[in-house]
Amino acid sequence: MISVSAVDKFFGPLHVLKDINLSVPRGQVLVVLGPSGSGKSTLCRAINRLEPINSGSIEVDGQPLPSEGKELARLRSDVGMVFQQFNLFAHKTIVENVMLGPIKVRRLPKEEARTLAMSLLERVGIANQSEKYPAQLSGGQQQRVAIARALAMKPKVMLFDEPTSALDPEMVQEVLDVMTDLAKEGMTMLVVTHEMGFARKAAHRVVFMADGEVVEDSTPEEFFTKPKSDRAKDFLGKIL
Ligand code: ADP
Ligand code: MG
């Protein structure tokens, strides 16, 4: 469903993605781990084409990434993205935040969009907050709205870039629970996270990145019990 081949990316002289190869089969969860600055966010942004790459290729559902126009809009709805910062529209209610994409991009009639939004808010456990504004919700609730908003586009894959890093500790689990449910329902997911419990339980594969390279690509079992590289051992030593 996601295929990244020989991808290189530079920011000026800085080589931030170095010959990256990875793939996520349909229905699988890939967790990407690695120290800050290793290129994890850049990789996510490249898959959504928020960042152009310098060489290599990326395919989503067998299609190379389009560079512009209608095709790019379609890619963006096929690839749902959830960031550390939820970026909800502050002056719109929760349900309106979720309805917006379906109305604007998928051209759904308003009432249909509302029905869809309410069912997704139900799914992430906050239907009862639908008429509130983002600032009236906790961080964990806002992040669940952001997940519902991404799902409203009927994505084929979901990318999560440190979705719980900005949350107070007591709110982390409610967001991870929603992600775990999504994974169980068969969503194809690429998840950048420092939540090792989630990685162990939900990941089909773990990719460890450092300095712009994929250093390890293994099962969670292998990675957590016998990491091969010194860099991974060092990382795990610091985080566990
Ligand atoms: P991670 O998400 O693993 O912390 P990033 O992908 O954010 O890593 O960053 C990888 C490297 O690219 C870092 O050295 C970072 O400073 C650099 N970088 C990220 N975005 C930009 C940008 N827009 N311009 C220049 N350098 C950037
Ligand atoms: Mg990052």
pLDDT tens across 142-159, in order? 999 999 999 999 999 999
Positions of the chain with pLDDT lower than 50, given as ranges: none
Query: Can you tell me the distance from the alpha carbon of 70 to that of 51, in angstroms, rounded to the nearest whole number?
Result: 17
Query: Can you tell me the distance from the alpha carbon of 34 to that of 36, in angstroms, rounded to the nearest whole number?
Result: 7
The structure's pTM equals 0.95
Residue (of 114, 177, 99) closest to 140 by Cα position = 177
User: Which protein residues are within 6 Å of ligand 1, measured from CB?
Assistant: 11, 14, 16, 34, 36-42
The Å distance, Cα 210 to ligand 1 centre, comes to: 12
Q: Which residue has the tokens 């229905």?
A: 27
| Ligand positioned closest to the Cα atom of 161 | 2
181-233 pLDDT, tens digit per residue, is 999 999 999 999 999 999 999 999 999 999 999 999 999 999 999 999 999 99
Q: Which atom of ligand 1 is nearest to the CA of 162?
A: 2
The Å distance, Cα 193 to ligand 2 centre, comes to: 9
| Ligand positioned closest to the Cα atom of 85 | 2
CA-nearest residue for atom 13, ligand 1, is: 37
The Å distance, Cα 175 to ligand 1 centre, comes to: 25
Query: Can you tell me the distance from the alpha carbon of 64 to that of 62, in angstroms, rounded to the nearest whole number?
Result: 7
